[in-house]
Structure 1
């Protein structure tokens, strides 16, 4: 050991507690001890008196703190993602319900206008849609247009059970398929949704469609029911 190391001051820790932590007995202050009496073990000056045990000092305290912080961060991130997904689903449900309520209200209101539109169309057929009555009729029809409601059903349309309500039937050689030849009441729809079917008279073909022509290159013997050729 060099002379400089010998002259360097040493750090001294003094235990001035009046009660011995080990035995629980009262201590006598160092100044009151008789001459020649050695200080108690707890009062001995040592630079190693308060050193931590080796097994405690070697524990990775910083690593434990970092791992716990990372775990808490992952939990908070998972909670935030779950709350965000729940809020997004809630917004979609609210928007879907709002659109559904608006559509239902529009369809109910349009349904109340259909009888008025029927009267307007009858007045138009009789040539009575003139003057102030025509102005009112145009405004009523404009309401349906604003709601996105359109009418359908015209003479000559192919009969569709999903769109037409057949109340009359007849036959004619002039049609090749069931056809709505008479429209007694127009139908209405909003987008792809049918609000009211059209009331029509249906005309069916007078005779069934002719049988398919024989395949080219086939002989009489190949046709069903053909007998043997005469000798």
Structure 2
């Protein structure tokens, strides 16, 4: 029991400052100042790390944009070449444009966004966007009958879904 008879134990934190001694007070104040200094340094280090990471992220994004844009330059070059031959044989121009389209599709596939343009497959709401319903009696219900606009990518890496017409369910 303590002197007041409450049964509570008293410790050094309950002692008056004058009972601790000036040397101990100075020691504790120095330790508190050291802890505060270490805390401020840690906060400054964390802030510097955040700023450095943000700058590195901006630089990496810019570099990736430049890599993708540079990968598209041959496609633009080939389009310009095809346009310069527009007065020539029309079938050769069409063949050239088809080759350029294939080049662009391959470029997207190389970036992880393969082309999705299959018809005759079961409708999948994760891959397909229905733009029309087809009443074709020769098609299986709920299957893609025509691709209106191809999609690119799969799953979470999908740039856009494939726009399709789907066979109407039979009644």
Question: How far apart are the structure 1 equivalents of 2:104 and 2:56?
Answer: 30
The alignment's C-alpha RMSD in Å is 4.3
What SS does structure 2 have at the residue aligned with 1:172? Answer: coil
**Residue pair 1:187, 1:196 contacting (<8 A) in 2 also:** yes
Structure 2 residue 67 is the aligned partner of structure 1 residue 67: no
Instruction: Tell me whether 1:87 sits opposite 2:48 in the alignment.
Output: yes
| Structure 1: tracts of 5 or more residues without a match | 1-58, 117-127, 208-231
1:14 aligns with none
Matched, 1:170 2:131: no
TM-score by length of 1: 0.41
8 A contact 2:113–2:152 mirrored in 1:
yes
- Of 64, 68, 76, which aligns to 2:37? 76
CA shift for structure 1 position 144 = 1.7
**CA displacement at 1:92 relative to structure 2:** 4.7
Q: How far off is 1:83 after superposition?
A: 2.0
Distance 2:47 2:137 in 1: 62
Taking structure 2 as the reference length, what is the TM-score of the superposition? 0.52
Would you say the 8 A contact 2:152–2:161 is kept in 1? yes
Aligned match of 1:55 = none
CA separation in 2, counterparts of 1:190 and 1:151? Answer: 9
Closer, same or farther in 2 for the Cα pair 1:206/1:135, shift >3 Å? closer
1:165–1:197: 8 Å Cα contact kept in structure 2? Answer: no
Give the superposition deviation at 1:142: 3.4
1:192 aligns with 2:153: no
Q: 1:203 aligns with which of 126, 150, 167?
A: 167
Greater helix proportion: 2
Tell me the alpha carbon deviations over residues 125-146 of structure 1, each in whole angstroms, 9 at most, x when there is no partner.
Answer: xxx8998777655543332233
Q: Is the Cα contact below 8 Å between 2:105 and 2:115 reproduced in 1?
A: no
Alignment check: 8 A CA contact 1:171 1:205 kept? no
**Contact 2:133–2:168 at 8 Å: present in 1 too?**
no
Residues 141 and 149 (structure 1 numbering): CA distance in 2 closer, same or farther, change over 3 Å?
same
Residues 171 and 206 of structure 1 are in contact (CA less than 8 Å); yes or no, is this contact kept in structure 2? no
Give deviations 1:106-137, integer Å, cap 9, x for gaps: 59x98xx8xx8xxxxxxxxxxx8998777655
Q: Deviations over 1:90-113 (max 9, x none)?
A: 445455556666777859x98xx8
